[in-house]
Amino acid sequence: MSANKMTSAQIRDSFIHFFESKGHTFVRSAPVVPQDDPTLMFINAGMNQFKAIFLGDNPKGLKRACNSQKCIRVSGKHNDLDEVGRDTYHHTFFEMLGNWSFGDYYKEEAITWAWELLTEVWHLDKNRLFVSVFKDDDEAAAIWSRVSGLPDNRIMRFDEDSNFWEMGDTGPCGPCSEIHYDRGDIATQEATFADPVLGVNGTNDRYIEIWNNVFMQYERISTGELVPLKAKNVDTGMGFERVCAILQGVKSNYDTDVFSPIIQKIAEWSGVPYDQGPDGTPHRVIADHLRSISFAIADGALPSNEGRGYVLRRILRRASRFARLLGQTEPFISRLVPVLAQTVGDAFPEIKERQAFVAEVIHAEEDRFIRTLDAGLDRFDKIVAELGSAKIIPGDRVFALYDTYGFPPDLTRLLAEEKGLSTDEAGFEKSMQEQKSRARAAQKQSVNTMASEGWTTFSEVSTRFVGYDLPSCETKITRYREDKGVLSIVLETTPFYAEMGGQVGDKGTLVSKQIEIQIFDVIKVNDTIIHRGKISKGTLDESSMSAVFSASVNEELRLHLRRNHSATHLLHGALRQVLGDHVVQHGSRVAPEDLRFDFSHFSALTPEQLIQVENLVNEQVMQCLPVCTELMKLEDAKASGAIALFGEKYEEDVRMVSMSSFSKELCGGLHVSNSGQIGLFKITSESSVSAGVRRIEAVTGMGSLELLRQDSLVLSSLRDKLRCKNEMIVGRIDAAFESAKELEKNLQSAKLELSMAAAQEILTDATLIEGVSVFAKELQFEEEKFKNLLDGVQAKLDESSVAFLFNRVGDSGSIAVVASKGVQQKGLKAGDLVKQLAELAGGKGGGRPDRAQAGTRELDKMATAVSAVHDLVKEKLTK
Ligand code: SER
């Protein structure tokens, strides 16, 4: 087959087959949502899933691997979200083809095979290839020279910036060697290829990096030091879309068959033809973002307001806003999901299997955004109006639009340009950085269980897990670490099950002659089971190396856990029967006390559906179905109808747990041996987690018994109190509420009557001043009564009256004024009057013109205020 005729699928396959022929094992792409690395938001390199192996944990003894890894990069030097779609070769989602050596081959083979694949299998023009090595890597330079025959001036040297690859602030790293391809005019090559702007690693995109070979030999630890790794490794990453563009002879990644079916549909459905220049930006943005959003959702992420979900929401909104530029005012991105499934569904079946759900989530999110978009445009108009004659929209405003309405800054820029304005980019960047450092500060708090520092190592053997069959065993410690009084321990053999697939870790004890350790949690970091515990007797130190420990799991807790786990599978099956096949697990937590199951579904379950689900599960329980676990090939398990979970990374050999044909799931967890052991299954709540995801919580076995016992205690005490049978309780409570309401109503009207009567008594002996009846009274009423009295006075007061009430209770006094409408018009406003009197009485207050009140603690001054009333009224009336 001639290389330039290959489809993208054939290119991917030929890479993988090439490395399989060199003894590499194909390892499926990990989901883009990281499984167990809190330092990563999305998988961003092929090596992520092998991080632990590089750091020395290689329990399966993997030597060589290859694959095409799904990656998402939304930040970084060249990958700012706002720039994607403007050029032809940066993406938020891309595939990274990779080959790895774990302490096996090194520079010689890596370079030889890279050259062989590029020039002998894919027949790339040698005159267009350039390589770079780390500045002092003479070894790699010499190999390149010998293998490729490239002249010295095309084996270029660069420093740390370009040729030393690190996964993050800490982690595996090493010098690297990149391969660049010249997409330009070869005739002008000599003049430009070493140019810092126009040449290799320059800012111009004529020379494009296609493949990075990292010679992974160090670990960067938290102090910043480089520590040599136990073995020398190779980690390579090739930009799949870029290589497709080169092999298919097109200038832009978007013109390859990876993107063209999607771009064509965007053009067809929007009626706006695709343009390879700037006018095609919306098409490119939508096509790119469709891929990252869809894969992220298919792998278990959901749009939300924080962390990963927030990034996802931003990407989706940017795509949606560009769809608007193509005239789309209805959800558009979601319609493209089946087109994507068609183009990559063979390589990544998850996108095909979950396309209905992915499309539904995107649709709901777009729908919501379209509604806020108009609000955002209003806000934009307001910001522009506030600018006055200024011509630059301040950075914090651009950020506010971004943050609150999801307005991508490049679009704000575009809207601004339409009005002859510009945006303050540096100011926006500052606001953005401030937010990022807030987010980073929050993230740093998570425990870095991946750290390989601080361990005391006794032996290198990998842990053998015996917990499926045994609750306890004899074992030795292979390594341990102490951090703030908490021990992390790795064992030679362990019965402890680590938290995984939603099932919480076992609890138990680790006991030797001298030492006792209480294990309170067990986690799995990559493939290593780490027991977390506290010492309750003795000390753990170098001398514990040969100590024999008895490791025992708390069997009672584990039995509860088994019940809940098997019940979760039955619940999953029942939900699919009652609601439909769109129900897919979205998360689960199986603990000894209860279970929680999150699943895709778009509306709340009705009470009838909940009963149906509960009944179905209990029917399976009562049928006492044997729970079978079988090890089999992934394909066979899927063919037999087993459900695979979102975002789960499965090996080729999987464990299938089934309960007759009702439930078949791929699962590594612990289960009862017969469904009858689950006991009663009882749902305790149904709620919403986010758009498209519902949650059911439930209990089983003794948990159900306890729940029912509690409920029945409450019922019996209600029966006692209400002196009735169960069926009458609700009626009695309703009646009691009714009668309480009636009593309250009566009480209010009685109070009103009383206060009216009291008011009547007080509104006597008026002094007539300029035609206004002025009442001034000194009282001693309780506070509540005084307030009621004021209500009464207000109701009784006739049109040309004003009442001044001076009340004392204990050591505090109040002055209240109530003024009728008529006297207010004459200038007697209750608020003003009270204010002036309060000043005389050493207090403070004010209020509305019809009624106002003030308080004072200086009771001896009250008399001054009382005697000032008449003069004050006169003064106001004659003004
Ligand atoms: N880890 C390196 C990269 O991401 C090579 O795979 O570029």
Per-residue pLDDT reduced to its tens digit, 339-378? 999 999 999 999 998 898 899 889 988 988 887 777 788 8
Q: How far apart are the C-alpha atoms of 288 and 319, rounded to whole Å?
A: 9
Q: How far lies 220's CA from each of 216, 610, 666, in Å?
A: 11, 53, 37
Ligand 1, atom 3: closest residue by C-alpha: 237
So what's the pLDDT on residue 681?
A: 98
Q: Is 237 in the pocket of ligand 1 (CB under 6 A)?
A: yes
CB-CB contact of 398 with 423 (8 Å) = yes
Q: How far apart are the C-alpha atoms of 473 and 553, rounded to whole Å?
A: 9
| 528 band by pLDDT with thresholds 50, 70 and 90 | confident
If 0-12 CB within 10 Å is exposed, 13-18 middle and 19+ buried, where does residue 639 land? exposed
Query: Given a cut of 60, is residue 449 above it in pLDDT?
Result: no
Q: What is the DSSP letter of 674?
A: B
| 747 band by pLDDT with thresholds 50, 70 and 90 | very high
Q: How far apart are the C-alpha atoms of 438 and 373, rounded to whole Å?
A: 26
- What is the whole-number distance in angstroms between the Cα of residue 135 and the centre of ligand 1? 18
| 484 band by pLDDT with thresholds 50, 70 and 90 | confident
- What is the whole-number distance in angstroms between the Cα of residue 340 and the centre of ligand 1? 26
Looking up tokens 């004072």 gives: 856
Ligand 1, atom 2: closest residue by C-alpha: 237
pLDDT digits (tens, 9 = 90+) for 539-564: 998 888 889 999 999 999 999 999 99
CB-CB contact of 102 with 233 (8 Å) = yes
Ligand 1: atom nearest CA of 167 is: 1
- What is the whole-number distance in angstroms between the Cα of residue 181 and the centre of ligand 1? 17
Residue 197: alpha-carbon gap to chain centroid: 39
Ligand 1: atom nearest CA of 237 is: 6
Q: How far apart are the C-alpha atoms of 326 and 447, rounded to whole Å?
A: 45
- What is the whole-number distance in angstroms between the Cα of residue 48 and the centre of ligand 1? 9
What are the b/e assignments for 62-96, b being 16+ CB within 10 Å? Answer: bebbbbbbbbbbbeeeebebbebbeebbbbbbbbb
pLDDT digits (tens, 9 = 90+) for 37-77: 666 789 999 999 998 899 888 888 899 999 999 999 986 55
H-only helix segments in 388-507: 395-405, 409-418, 425-444
- What value does the mean pLDDT of the chain take? 90
Q: Determine what percent of the chain is predicted with pLDDT higher than 70.
A: 95
Q: Is 47 in the pocket of ligand 1 (CB under 6 A)?
A: yes
- What is the whole-number distance in angstroms between the Cα of residue 45 and the centre of ligand 1? 6
- What is the whole-number distance in angstroms between the Cα of residue 461 and the centre of ligand 1? 29
| 443 band by pLDDT with thresholds 50, 70 and 90 | very low
- Give the three-state DSSP class for 597: strand
pLDDT digits (tens, 9 = 90+) for 197-217: 778 888 778 899 999 999 999
CB-CB contact of 300 with 586 (8 Å) = yes
Cα dihedral 534, 538, 542, 546 sign = negative
Ligand 1: atom nearest CA of 238 is: 6
Q: Is 245 in the pocket of ligand 1 (CB under 6 A)?
A: no
Q: Is 67 in the pocket of ligand 1 (CB under 6 A)?
A: no
Q: Is 792 left (phi over 0), alpha (psi -120 to 50) or beta?
A: alpha
- What is the whole-number distance in angstroms between the Cα of residue 138 and the centre of ligand 1? 21
What average pLDDT does the segment 141-161 reach? 95
What average pLDDT does the segment 107-130 reach? 96
What average pLDDT does the segment 763-775 reach? 93
So what's the pLDDT on residue 648?
A: 63
Ligand 1, atom 4: closest residue by C-alpha: 45
- What is the whole-number distance in angstroms between the Cα of residue 524 and the centre of ligand 1? 25
Q: How far apart are the C-alpha atoms of 584 and 575, rounded to whole Å?
A: 9
So what's the pLDDT on residue 333?
A: 97
If 0-12 CB within 10 Å is exposed, 13-18 middle and 19+ buried, where does residue 625 land? buried
Q: Determine what percent of the chain is predicted with pLDDT higher than 90.
A: 66
pLDDT digits (tens, 9 = 90+) for 686-718: 998 877 789 999 999 999 999 999 999 999 999
Looking up tokens 């999953």 gives: 572
Query: Which of 47, 54, 68 has most ligand 1 atoms within 8 Å of CB, for mutation?
Result: 47
Query: Residues 529, 46, 157, CA angle at the centre, nearest 5°?
Result: 125
Residue in 544, 537, 524, 527 with CA at minimum distance from that of residue 479: 544
| 452 band by pLDDT with thresholds 50, 70 and 90 | low
pLDDT digits (tens, 9 = 90+) for 219-259: 998 888 999 998 999 999 999 999 999 999 999 999 999 99
Counted residue by residue, the chain has a size of 879
Q: How far apart are the C-alpha atoms of 88 and 95, rounded to whole Å?
A: 15
What are the b/e assignments for 648-680, b being 16+ CB within 10 Å? Answer: bebeeebbbbbbeebbbbbbbbbbbeebebbbb
Read off the tokens for 40: 């990563």
Q: How far apart are the C-alpha atoms of 542 and 128, rounded to whole Å?
A: 58
Query: Given a cut of 80, is residue 23 above it in pLDDT?
Result: yes
Q: How far apart are the C-alpha atoms of 48 and 29, rounded to whole Å?
A: 10
- What is the whole-number distance in angstroms between the Cα of residue 329 and the centre of ligand 1? 40
- Give the three-state DSSP class for 423: strand
So what's the pLDDT on residue 504?
A: 92
Q: Is 212 in the pocket of ligand 1 (CB under 6 A)?
A: yes
What average pLDDT does the segment 458-473 reach? 90
Ligand 1: atom nearest CA of 46 is: 6
pLDDT digits (tens, 9 = 90+) for 564-573: 999 999 999 9
